[in-house]
A and B are shown apart, each in its own frame.
Chain A
Amino acid sequence: MTAKPETAPYRAAFTAHPADALADQRKSAFARFETLGFPTRREEAWRFTNLRPLQQAYLPGTATASKPDIAAYAFDGESYRLVFVNGRFAPDLSHTGALPKGVRLDNTAKLLPGHQDLAQSLLDDTDTAGGQGFAALNAALFADGYVLVLEDGVTLDHPVEIVHWGDAPDQSFHLRNLIKLGTGSRATILETYIGEGRYWTNAVTLVDVAAAASLRHVKLQDEATTAIHFGQVRGTLDRAARYDGFVLTLGSELSRHDSFIRYAGENAECGLFGAYLLRGAQEATNMTVVDHATPHCTTHEVFKGVVDERAHGVFLGKITVREDAQKTNANQLNKNLLLSARATVDTKPELEIFADDVKCSHGATVGDLDEDAMFYLEARGISPDEARRMLIEAFAADAIDRLEGEPALRAHLAAHVQRWLNVARVPS
């Protein structure tokens, strides 16, 4: 196989990467990346995505002087916090305190050398599914990330808070994360991605939820508006497991969040929720790929988009119900508000059903703010600006409120939606 030309600048970076325990896997991952190259618009999963910002090569670099400014994003409550700066663990900014028994939480680079089992879980050759060359690049180049492992029956009392700050100019940060929940265990994770300037964050998170375990996985992406952010979650749910994912997208010039969920047992449940609020020339894609391979599983998806100015939002949802997956219950909903004549949305909810006894639905809407609701609020003395804010906030809250049992996290996300709304609007 020949290497695609756009991969060439990354070859030198890969050659310079220090050899570690995963050298062989990294080598084959890089070969996959070279073969796949960057996706093109001919590929269905990428046909709405303009990759022009990636024409410039963002190479991984060595440690760079940095001024992390994370205070405004700190979770207002107790948490076990790991902070990463420019792709690497920053112990001085982190505090995990005393972890409960049966919990392992550490950065990937630290755990890798002594734990061959975890290293194997971190890397496999499935990351090229769907032409995901960026996941293969991540496998080849990742320097760090986080690992959370819960033993059977352990409930983590506070959220794990992962903060990544990027500001090394023109660098890429490849983070490799692993979440492994033992039977009946429970955890909540809040990932926050922020930064300043031009950089590329490329994170891959592998999730393994064992029988009757439950994971809430929340991501707040508010990268610099000149940055690129790709995030990929690959999850496997065993019998009666539960995964609730929520992604709030506010930042980046170009961003993508891809969730690949596979059911490996019966009676498992998955909620994939998100809200994206975009302005300027921002472009953001949320893709979900859910594989109902087993019977009696339930998937709920709700994504709400607010798109202003010249921004572009994309939702690609695919649920496959295989022949044996009887009694599947799956629904997909993507609703969008266009706030400007130049804003655009592409939405493609998709169901592929091979079983006959299932309940599935999908829907998508694109519209303006409700004029009747606007007038009702204004007729009570509320200014058009404030009325508009109230309606947008309520629209996004409809997705945020799906995060059951996490009032503090919901409030945290709602506060960042409000912060987004407080930014003065450029009249279109």
Chain B
Amino acid sequence: MLNIKNLHAKITDGREILKGINLDVKPGEVHAIMGPNGSGKSTLASVLAGRPGYEVTEGSVTFDGKDLLPLAADERAREGIFLAFQYPVEIPGVNNMYFLRAALNAVRRHRGQPDLDAGQFLKAVRAKLKELEINDDLLQRGVNVGFSGGEKKRNEIFQMAMLEPKLGLLDETDSGLDIDALRLVSNGINKLRSPSRAMVLITHYQRLLDYIEPDHIHVLSGGKIVMSGDKTLAAELEKRGYAMLDETAA
């Protein structure tokens, strides 16, 4: 589904951050990308989602066989890539429901489906809320405005559920969450796992992986994947810390 080959990227007018990433993600798989601060984890998520400010200098990325890199961020989203933000943006004056309906209808149009009217949309919202076991107190507010850290992350997962992407990129979704919020958000992510949907979890800590069991774990360091393995790799990292990378390299 997602094929990344020798991906090099730099900050526009800045230094190179990604120095040759190779990654294959198949439908239904959950990959965790771990690594120390500054290793390029969030840059990888940004480059895949099409955030302005980065420049790909080498390599390729295909998504469902299609070249991803020429596509703008909104086109990538409509193709089925969803980025759950590490820091969801507050947008005062834009109502959460209004925003989400605009997004959903944009995605639906791209899939050749008719727009949902207000009634149909509300019905779909209710169904997803129930499925994710979250309440609707956030919906009538401005997008992320005044939300707590946990509420913002919950809103990201709810959006992902509504938009039904093929690929979810979750950028440090566990950061800033207390244990209850982490459980709630992880529970939501687990419910969204399906044989046709892949997920890439980007995380600094292993604790998210106590709740979401990945199929593969990769360790990113210095802009490259330096180690890959199954779920047991997380436990080892937890025990020995990212310092083990140096030992391995030595």
Q: Which residues of A are interface residues toward B (Cβ below 8 A)?
A: 370-373, 375-384, 386-387, 390-391, 393-395, 397-398, 401
- A selection of 6 A-B contacts at a CB cut-off of 8 Å is A373-B91, A376-B143, A377-B94, A382-B102, A393-B94, A398-B93
Q: Judge if B170 is at the interface, Cβ distance under 8 Å.
A: no
Report the Cα distance A382→B102, complex, angstroms: 7
Asked whether, in the complex, the Cβ of A381 is within 8 Å of the Cβ of B51, the reply is: no
9 cross-chain pairs, A with B, having the tightest CB-CB distances, nearest first? A394-B93, A381-B77, A380-B103, A376-B89, A378-B74, A378-B73, A381-B106, A381-B78, A381-B107
Report the Cα distance A182→B68, complex, angstroms: 68
Q: Judge if B110 is at the interface, Cβ distance under 8 Å.
A: yes
Inter-chain contacts of B78 with A (CB < 8 A) = 381
B247 CB, nearest partner CB in chain A, Å: 38
Q: Judge if B85 is at the interface, Cβ distance under 8 Å.
A: yes
The 0/1 profile, CB within 8 Å of A marked 1, for residues 85-111 of chain B is 100110111100011101100110010
Asked whether, in the complex, the Cβ of B106 is within 8 Å of the Cβ of A373, the reply is: no
Inter-chain contacts of A398 with B (CB < 8 A) = 92-93
A378 CB, nearest partner CB in chain B, Å: 4
The 0/1 profile, CB within 8 Å of A marked 1, for residues 38-72 of chain B is 00000000000111100000000000000000001
Report the Cα distance A380→B159, complex, angstroms: 8
Closest Cβ neighbor of B84 among chain A residues? A379
Asked whether, in the complex, the Cβ of B72 is within 8 Å of the Cβ of A384, the reply is: yes
Report the Cα distance A373→B94, complex, angstroms: 10
Asked whether, in the complex, the Cβ of A390 is within 8 Å of the Cβ of B102, the reply is: yes
Inter-chain contacts of A387 with B (CB < 8 A) = 74
Report the Cα distance A398→B145, complex, angstroms: 14
Inter-chain contacts of A377 with B (CB < 8 A) = 91, 94, 99, 103
Taking A370-B91, A375-B51, A381-B106 as known contacts, 13 extra A-B pairs with beta carbons closer than 8 A to each other, sorted by chain A number, are A370-B89, A373-B91, A377-B91, A378-B50, A378-B73, A380-B100, A380-B163, A381-B78, A383-B106, A390-B98, A393-B93, A393-B94, A395-B93
Asked whether, in the complex, the Cβ of A394 is within 8 Å of the Cβ of B74, the reply is: no
Inter-chain contacts of A394 with B (CB < 8 A) = 91-94, 142
| Residues of chain B from 82 to 141 with CB closer than 8 A to chain A in the complex | 82-83, 85, 88-89, 91-94, 98-100, 102-103, 106-107, 110
Q: Which residues of B are interface residues toward A (Cβ below 8 A)?
A: 49-52, 72-74, 77-78, 82-83, 85, 88-89, 91-94, 98-100, 102-103, 106-107, 110, 142-143, 159, 163
A385 CB, nearest partner CB in chain B, Å: 10
Asked whether, in the complex, the Cβ of B72 is within 8 Å of the Cβ of A378, the reply is: yes
Report the Cα distance A398→B50, complex, angstroms: 30
Contact A390-B99, Cβ < 8 Å, known A375-B52, A381-B110, A395-B93: yes
Report the Cα distance A389→B179, complex, angstroms: 38
A371 CB, nearest partner CB in chain B, Å: 7
Report the Cα distance A379→B52, complex, angstroms: 11
Contact A382-B92, Cβ < 8 Å, known A375-B52, A376-B85, A390-B102: no
Report the Cα distance A376→B83, complex, angstroms: 9
Asked whether, in the complex, the Cβ of A386 is within 8 Å of the Cβ of B73, the reply is: no
A377 CB, nearest partner CB in chain B, Å: 7
Closest Cβ neighbor of B94 among chain A residues? A394
Q: In the complex, which of the residues A378, A381, A384, A391 contacts B94, with contact meaning CB atoms closer than 8 Å?
A: A391
Contact A379-B94, Cβ < 8 Å, known A371-B52, A386-B102, A386-B106: no
Inter-chain contacts of B92 with A (CB < 8 A) = 394, 398
